[in-house]
Amino acid sequence: MNSSIARQPAPYLVSLATAVPGFGLPQDEVARRAGELFAPMVADFQRLTPIYRNAEIEHRHSCVPIDWYSQKHTFGDRNALFLDNATTLLAEAATRALDAAGLQADEIDMVITICSSGIATPSLDARLIGRLGLRPDVQRLPVFGLGCAGGVLGLSRAAALAKAQPEAHVLLLAVELCGLTFRAQDRSKSNIVATALFGDGAAAAVVSCRSLYAGRPRLGAAAEHTWPDSLGVMGWDVTDDGLKVVFSGNIPDLVRHDLRPVIDRFFVTHGIAAEEIDGYLCHPGGAKVLDALEDCFGLEPGAMRHARAVLREHGNMSSVTVLFVLAAAMADGLHGRQLLTALGPGFTAALQVIDLP
């Protein structure tokens, strides 16, 4: 290992907390409502109905009641709901993370905010300064557009900032209200599939290199890889009434055929032997993606139990989801060297090693 790398301060995950909004979306009820909405205007809707069962999702959370989804809404209406609910959810998650770390809000030196499902100017972190009691001189970094990769990349950015200022406390915030992007009049397959997948949630983490946190989970090597000519694989199209979901049906194939070489190069670059990795904690973009990830890593079907549990109970919450997976694994007492992975717009793979004590 390069001696200069070995001398760098170690960033620790001091705490991690999650939050979900109050409205529940049972999958059976979503499927019934979707049938009422789409069957009259989508000729082959019955052919698509197995997506609700095959998604392997039982329940999700939403910041709005289910009746909201059958109505038309302007972009402005959606974004007003986003600002109100995203701020509230982030405040809840951040308070829990600070309490778990034994910190007061004025001890936070930097804030990174990850989100791709709404627009906020002033940014969400600015809206939280007074609400949480952050210092007026807190350094802020709002990040938009990383999509599902944002949770892993957010941790990596927090670790990098912590290493740059080893005495600092970095607060990572992630929130996604994917449900607010649903457009009732959109008959596209992507929009219909989204009704079977997306949920709302938030997460917060404190990262620091202070030596007193030795013994907490340690954030190690990190990387990302963006494939050429892949902009159309995943993302949003901006329309007059909101954000229109874009995702390719061949994402599982991309995982099976193209991700492993990226992982192998990452291991070689950072001097990691594959057998040193004790487990894989991945963003559960969907059941088929998890199947492909298990194939990619040579795991038995169903081995990614924490990711599957989060998908089953919360659905796909974009950037937030992998942080829920990490929180579930930590609560379950998982230990050893884990590789966090997520795939997002770009099309980009995000990788982060974490050593769980």
Q: Which residues contact 284 (CB under 8 A, 6 or more apart)?
A: 290, 304, 307, 308, 310, 311, 316, 321, 325
Q: Which of 63, 115, 148, 209 is catalytic?
A: 148
The pLDDT-based confidence of 241 (bands split at 50, 70, 90) is confident
* CA angle, residues 217, 153, 9, in degrees to nearest 5: 45
32-41 in b/e form (b: 16+ CB < 10 A) is ebbbebbeee
Q: How far is CA 241 from the centre of its chain?
A: 24
Task: Judge if pTM exceeds 0.75.
Answer: yes
Q: Which CATH class is domain 218-356?
A: alpha beta
218-356 has the same fold as 12-213: yes
Query: What pLDDT does residue 246 have?
Result: 82
Judged on CB neighbours under 10 Å (0-12, 13-18, 19+), 228 is exposed
Q: Return d(Cα 37, Cα 194) in angstroms, integer.
A: 14
Q: Judge whether 217 and 354 are in contact, CB under 8 Å.
A: yes
Which residues have a Cβ under 8 Å from the Cβ of 202 and sit 6 or more positions away?
Answer: 18, 19, 20, 86, 89, 90, 92, 93, 173, 174, 175, 176, 320
CATH 3.40.47.10 fits 12-213, yes or no: yes
Cα separation of 124 and 71, whole Å?
A: 27
- Break the chain into its structural domains and give their ranges: 12-213, 218-356
Q: What's the pLDDT at 123?
A: 97
Q: For 141-153, give one letter per residue: b (16+ CB within 10 A) or e.
A: bbbeebbbbbbbb
CB 306 within 8 A of CB 293: no
User: Which one has a higher pLDDT value, 336 or 185?
Assistant: 336
**Do the Cβ atoms of 44 and 58 come closer than 8 Å?**
no
For the chain, what is the mean pLDDT?
93
User: Any bridge partners for residue 19, and if so which?
Assistant: 202
CA terminus-to-terminus distance, the chain = 22
Q: Which helix (H) or strand (E) holds 279?
A: strand 279-282
DSSP label of 257 = I
Q: Is 271 helix (H, G, I), strand (E, B) or coil?
A: coil
What does the chain come to in residues? 357
pLDDT score recorded for residue 2: 45
Q: What type of residue sits at position 63?
A: C
Q: What is the pLDDT of residues 274-333, one digit of tens each?
A: 999 999 999 999 999 999 999 999 999 999 999 999 999 999 999 999 999 999 999 999
Number of other residues whose CB lies within 10 A of the CB of residue 164: 12
C-alpha 247/C-alpha 53 separation (Å) is 19
Residue 77's pLDDT band (boundaries 50, 70, 90)?
Answer: very high
What is the spatial distance between Cα 194 and Cα 129, in angstroms, rounded to a whole number? Answer: 33
Distance separating alpha carbons of residues 80 and 207, to the nearest angstrom = 31
Per-residue confidence (pLDDT) for residue 5, from 0 to 100: 47
**Residue 148 is among the residues annotated as catalytic for this protein:** yes
